[in-house]
Structure 1
Amino acid sequence: MIEVVAGKKECFFEDLHVNDKMTVTYQVGGGGHLDIDFWLADPDNKALAKQIKQSTGTASVTAEMDGRHEYCFSNMMSAISDKIISFNVHGVIYVGEDADVVAPVEREIRSLANGLTAVKDEQEYIVVREKIHRNTAESTNTRVKWWSILQAGVLFAVVGWQVMYLKSFFEVKRVI
């Protein structure tokens, strides 16, 4: 998890070789409208993925050249609110699938490792979503509480005014 300050961007790098695979998944956990700009670029600064004002996203890339690949989270569009981002980077180093080199057991282990990674990502996504929903529920609860207090205050004021007004009808007025 990182915090991206309003009006700033945070960039990270991964060194990849040809045919290496990398996947970046992210989700905005707090701040503003829960949106962020994201992009992924190759060593020549050519955009491989770009997502504007998204609350969650995934970008996968297979490296076409050796070098440092950059991915950034930008909060430049916000002048006030900082954003909290939860993200995961998964890299798969390319290994040929030659029948002589990779045993069936090794292939199965790789498959299980990929499945385990997917389950871990899903759990982290659920944790962030639960946090967002809990914050929304607490905010709604606070608003309902203050609205109820305001209604009770208005009710007592109206009742007090009605009692005073009706009391004036029953006062005896003497003329001398």
Structure 2
Amino acid sequence: MMIPRLTNLFTLFLLVLPFTLAHRIDIDPGEKECYFESLQPQDKMTITYEVGGSTSGGHLDIDFYVVDPHGKTIYTQHKKSQGSFSLSASSSGKYTYCFSNEMSSYARKVLSFNVHGQLYIGDEEQIAPVEQEVRDLSAGLQLVKDEQAYLVVRERVHRNTCESTNSRVKWWAIVQTVILFSLCAWNVHYLKSWFEVKRVL
């Protein structure tokens, strides 16, 4: 009787494991990218995102909104560099979420986002203690994965910032060096011409 019990626990563990999708996309100026998830009532979904880069010196921001199966916008954020949104489905159907770069006319945005959730599988009061522990462990593992994904994105943003700063410092040092040598050459030429005039006098 132990083997069927273990089989049931393993099956339950597979059922309660959160679904997770991780993406990295480029969004051109004036464009938007939309995705959808098919959910049933009481299914849960969380979307986290962060703008990890921008071309042409643009701002690290994006517009984000979520539309329910009836076409109603249930959440929106404007010009944010990062964000998170969680929902519990009230009706079955496709829940659409979009990332819009339509407010930008020249900068392409590099976006990283994760989609994860929990499928509803029954009444909590009817779940055995061991099965509830499996659910709790699954939720804890998902929190760890989310934190790791967030740290990876933050590290990428900080690295891009450091590389951009180093590049600007390098070019500014080059410009300063050119200006310094130009001033030295002009001073030498000016002093030389002044002494030549003195000798003629």
Shorter-chain TM band:
0.7 to 0.9
2:99 equivalent in structure 1? 73
Are residues 166 and 51 of structure 1, via their aligned partners in 2, closer, same or farther at CA, if it must alter by over 3 Å? Answer: same
Normalising to structure 2: TM-score of the pair?
Answer: 0.78
> Which of 6, 20, 26 is the matching residue for 2:49?
26
* Cα shift at 1:50: 0.9
Aligned length: 173
2:80 equivalent in structure 1? 54
Contact 2:67 2:74 in 1 (8 A): yes
Quick one: distance in 2 between partners of 1:160 and 1:96? 84
Quick one: distance in 2 between partners of 1:138 and 1:174? 56
SS at structure 2 position matched to 1:105: helix
More helix by share: 2
Are residues 159 and 93 of structure 1, via their aligned partners in 2, closer, same or farther at CA, if it must alter by over 3 Å? Answer: same
Quick one: distance in 2 between partners of 1:39 and 1:140? 32
Quick one: distance in 2 between partners of 1:173 and 1:2? 72
> Which of 162, 165, 174 is the matching residue for 1:140?
165
CA RMSD of aligned residues (A): 1.8
- Is 1:93 aligned with 2:97? no
SS at structure 1 position matched to 2:124: coil
SS at structure 2 position matched to 1:144: helix
Letter of the 2:175 counterpart = L
Query: CA deviation digits over 1:131-175, x for unaligned, max 9?
Result: 121122112112212222222222222223333333445445356
Which is further off, 78-87 or 56-65? 78-87
Contact 2:51 2:62 in 1 (8 A): yes
Quick one: distance in 1 between partners of 2:109 and 2:27? 5
4+ runs of 1 displaced by more than 6 Å?
Answer: none
Quick one: distance in 1 between partners of 2:185 and 2:95? 71
Letter of the 1:72 counterpart = C
Letter of the 2:91 counterpart = M
Normalising to structure 1: TM-score of the pair?
Answer: 0.88
* Cα shift at 1:42: 1.3
Contact 2:53 2:160 in 1 (8 A): no
Are residues 119 and 170 of structure 1, via their aligned partners in 2, closer, same or farther at CA, if it must alter by over 3 Å? Answer: same
Quick one: distance in 2 between partners of 1:119 and 1:103? 25
Match runs of 1:99-110 below 5 Å: 101-110=126-135
Where structure 2 has 5 or more consecutive residues not aligned to the other structure, the ranges are: 1-23
* Cα shift at 1:77: 1.0
Query: CA deviation digits over 1:113-136, x for unaligned, max 9?
Result: 112112211211211221121122
Which is further off, 114-123 or 150-159? 150-159
Where structure 1 has 5 or more consecutive residues not aligned to the other structure, the ranges are: none
> Which of 63, 66, 70 is the matching residue for 1:40?
66
